[in-house]
Amino acid sequence: MERKHKMTSFTILWHEGTGQYDGQTFTLWSTVQFAFNQIFKHHMKDGGEGYTKVKVNVKWEDGSEITDRLDVSEKDYNPQLETVGEYLSKAVNFYTVMYSSNVKSRHDLSFRDLPATPTPKNSPKTTVKASKIARKQPELIQPTEHPENSPKTAQNSPKTAYITRTFAEIIEMQAQTYLLN
């Protein structure tokens, strides 16, 4: 299976409502999804009538680009039922977008966050092991202690070890994402 082209930027050019995300550019589908959830929540808070127009520009690493408008509502694009990537990949006809498109085929484009590309052996290493992050940033991965547990018991419990490992993995993913962007 061939690797799909990664989205390089997703800009919310403008949106009705709060305008909180006007002009903001995102590089991960997950952060775009968060913004659309916030726009939807505001739309519903205002009564949920009609729809909230959102003009977007999406670019992929192969040079493909679309500028279109998404109508956020319970009946059109509802970010609580599907991701913005899922919606765009199936609901938008790239040949009839409202503004512009140079997309020839959506099948080569990724509409979700892709895992990091493995680093070849001969290139500089850009990842950091979770254990190194844990040693350098112990305050970020310490679990919350419960009053009924002594510090010694909380530190040595299997649940604490799992939480510590999970936090270290999250920090490692954040560090890799930062290094790749």
For 134-176, what is each residue's pLDDT tens digit? 444 444 444 443 444 444 444 455 555 555 555 566 666 665 5
Beta bridge partners of 5: 109
Mean pLDDT over 82-102 rounds to: 75
Three-state DSSP string of 130-172: HHHHHHHCHHHHCCCCCCCCCHHHHHHCHHHHHHHHHHHHHHH
pLDDT band, residue 120 (cuts 50/70/90):
low
* 164 or 100, which is more confident: 100
Q: What is the pTM of this model?
A: 0.62
